[in-house]
Structure 1
Amino acid sequence: MESRHLSAPAWSAFKSWLLKLTGVPVSRLRLLTGGCPADELPALAKELKRVRADFKKRPNEVSAPADEGLRKDYAALGVPWSAWSEVASEVHRDLKRNRYARWTGVDALEFPEGPAFGELVTVVLFGGVEQARAHLLRRASLSEGSLEALWCRWLGGEPLEPETLRAFAGAPEQLAEPLYTPGIEEVLPLYFVEPDAVRAERALEVVAGKLGQPLLDFLRSLLGLWRQETTTEDVRARFDAFVASVSPSKVSQLCAPAYLYGRYVEVLPAHALLEQVGSRLECIAVPAKVADVQPVMEALTAVEELTAMGLGLRVEQVPGKVLLSAQEPETTGGDEFL
């Protein structure tokens, strides 16, 4: 019996793209519900040619939050993805129009308190600190006492004392309690504001399994730096990997890691640090077409090869992976794979 093993994220990413297609009813039904009986393989094979042709011309555009699942699959597969180039173009266009310097008309009517915090961070990322500064300081006054206010003042050019951040973080054990605004992603880095390895390590233990790997890897690299077990180059690489993993909708999560990077790796003004981050985000090399995403095409090729044998196609979920085999499926219906 011929079979192929695929990673769960690779199969999930393939299914996500398949769901965006129209005119392939057999593919969508059978590949999402456990497999295809032998008598329907000719129809499936015909549709798979169309799927391959579509992937060759379909732009590899992943949007958040609509494609959040696909973005996570890409992250697990190590496939570069970024919507930042589009965001950067929009910000540059707005800066050229002096949108943030003026903030009049519809903007002022809909958002009388000024741009949202996340939008201001994005503006600073792409070189707009001069237009954003007044908004940052005003928002800091409006949200006095919050972590957001501290970052607004820092981005606006005011000094930010480490003691202030440490006091805001509290005891590491507090991370075990539900955190909503701010969330764990914003609070955890505050335990790394000073070289206190015991306190920082305890905070990491409390949140184990709750956060994305890139952020944890960056913070662990700081522990190694303090203990002289990790080089500055490794910390820089971990920071770059974290930056690449952040989506535009999570932009505020960049502030604390950038602050730490500025304390321990490269001392620069806040806006210069953020602008360096923005440059990295704009340079992420994203596959242009779906056909350029190797794991997705490997999944398609496996389906094509097994389908060509004419024996049936079975799709089975096993721990951490998906097993495709050339045999009749156990069921011909159901929705367990949707």
Structure 2
Amino acid sequence: MEFRHLSAPAWSAFKSWLLKLHGVPISHLRLLTGGCPAEELPALAKELKRVRAEFKKRPNEVSAPADEGLRKDYAALGVPWSAWSEVAREVQRDLKRKRYARWTGADALEFPEGPPAEDLVTVLLFGGVEQARPHLLRRASLAAGSLEALWCRWLAGEPLEPETLRSFAGAPERLAEPLYTPGLEEVLPLFFVEPDPARAERALDVASAQMGSSRSQPLMDFLRSLLGLWRQDTSVEEVRARFDASIATVPPSEVARLIAPAYLYGRYIHALPPHALLELAGSRLERIAVPARVADVQPVMAALAALEELTAMGLGLRVEQRSGNVLLSAQEPETGGGDEFL
């Protein structure tokens, strides 16, 4: 008897993509419910050819929350994925149709004061400084006196002195009080805008007691590497690596957390205009080599190839869930089928 073992995440990912296809009713009925009898294999084989053709042209775009299960399967399989690649594609589409330059219609009705600050930062990440600059200056005027206003002016190209940020941050002990809006992860880097190791280290100590989150650890490591740079016991290359690791943990929904680290990177590592620093961060966020098409996802195609090989034998096809894996075999399915794969 011919058989193939597949990991449970590989089979699950294949099923997820299969369910997105139309016009393959036998595949949906038989592959998801225990297998296919021999007399239906010729029809199944034709559908599998179509599935392969569809996978070759279907973009490997995974969206949340609908595809959360597929994201988990990809993670278990080690398939590269980054939500930022989706965001980058969307921003590039918007820039081509000059959405931010015009800002009319439904956009203007929903946001009459212009795009939210978070959206503008995202646009800067992927090369939209010219369309974003007027909105940044308007946002700075609307939010005058806030940290958001300071960052908007800086991102629009206006100078921002370290003393201004230092004054906004206040004393390190203030970090222990729940007074900051925006959050601690955005304010803590302000204590590193000038080489004052004692003040910066005190701020790190206070923040360490407050954060209590592994999510914040890459940011803390980056800031500690700046302390080491000031003390000349950490290399520039190490600081760069810590910066990369820090920004890689920032999801699109918390894009504002990228601004302060980018400012510090420009101040101590590589002096660039603000928009260029954001674009540098954007390029590093896109560095993960996300497969472009479903056909580029090897575990999914391995599942399809196994099905094609067993189907070609004409003996029937059985799909069985085992402990941690799935067994495909060239034999008649068990009578009655099952719905455990639905």
TM-score scaled to structure 1, two decimals?
0.67
Amino acid in the other structure paired with 1:56: K
Q: Which residue of 2 aligns with 1:188?
A: 185
For the 8 Å contact 2:307–2:328, the answer to whether it is kept is no
Q: Report if aligned partners of 1:75, 1:245 keep a CA contact under 8 Å in 2.
A: no
- Matched pairs, number: 313
Give the distance between the partners of 1:203 and 1:277, measured in 2 at CA.
Answer: 27
Query: 1:100-143: per-residue Cα shift (whole Å, max 9, x none)?
Result: 3x656775455321122233223333444455334223323434
Structure 1, unaligned runs of 5 or more: none
**What does residue 325 of structure 2 align with?**
323
Q: Is the 8 A contact 2:62 2:70 kept in 1?
A: yes
**Cross-structure match for 2:213:** 207
1:142 partner letter = L
Asked whether the equivalents of residues 151 and 259 of structure 2 are also in contact (C-alpha less than 8 Å), the reply is yes
**1:265 counterpart residue number:** 269
Q: Is the 8 A contact 1:123 1:129 kept in 2?
A: yes
8 A Cα contact 1:85 1:281, kept in partner: no
Match of 2:293 in 1: 289
Q: 1:270 to 1:19 in 2, by over 3 A?
A: same
Identify the residue that residue 20 of structure 1 maps to in structure 2: 20
Does the 8 Å contact 1:80/1:285 carry over to 2? yes
Supply the distance in 1 between the matched residues of 2:32 and 2:146 (Cα, whole angstroms). Answer: 46
| Aligned twin of 2:57 | 57
Q: How does 1:83-102 map to 2 (within 5 A)?
A: 83=86, 84-94=88-98, 100=101
For 2:29 and 2:234, locate their aligned partners in 1 and report how far apart those are by CA, in whole Å: 50
1:332 match: 337
Matched-pair contact (CA < 8 Å) for 1:57–1:289: yes
Distance 1:125 1:57, change over 3 A: closer
Is the contact between residue 126 and residue 278 of structure 1 (CA under 8 Å) also seen in structure 2? yes
**Residue 6 to residue 225, structure 1, CA distance change in 2 (3 Å):** farther
Q: Which residue does 2:278 correspond to in 1?
A: 274
- Partners of 2:8 and 2:222 in 1: how far apart? 28
User: RMSD over aligned Cα, in angstroms?
Assistant: 4.5
Which consecutive unaligned segments of at least 5 residues does structure 2 have? 193-199
8 Å contact kept, 2:45–2:308: yes
User: Against the structure 1 CA distance between its residues 158 and 236, is the aligned structure 2 distance closer, same or farther, given a 3 Å change threshold?
Assistant: same
Distance 1:270 1:301, change over 3 A: same
Which position in structure 2 is the counterpart of 1:120?
120
Q: What's 2:80 paired with? A: 79
Seen in structure 2, the aligned counterparts of structure 1 residues 115 and 91 have a Cα distance that, compared at 3 Å, is same
CA shift for structure 1 position 189: 5.2
Is the 2:186–2:256 contact (alpha carbons within 8 Å) kept by the matching residues of 1?
no
The CA deviation at 1:323 is 0.4
Change (3 A) 1:306 1:79: farther
Q: Residue in 1 aligned with 2:320?
A: 314
Q: Deviations over 1:248-285 (max 9, x none)?
A: 66644533443343355334342221132345567765
TM-score using structure 2 length: 0.67
Give the fraction of aligned pairs with identical amino acids, expressed as a percent: 56
Please tell me whether Structure 1 or Structure 2 has the larger radius of gyration of its CA atoms.
Answer: 2
Name 2:7's counterpart in structure 1: 6
* 8 A contact 1:224–1:230 mirrored in 2: yes
What is the CA deviation profile of residues 218-251 of structure 1, one whole-angstrom value per residue up to 9, with x for unaligned ones?
6535545645787543553564466677676664
Give the partner amino acid of 1:312.
R
TM-superposed CA distance for 1:92, in Å, is 4.7
CA contact under 8 A between 1:244 and 1:281: conserved in structure 2?
yes
CA contact under 8 A between 1:120 and 1:132: conserved in structure 2? yes
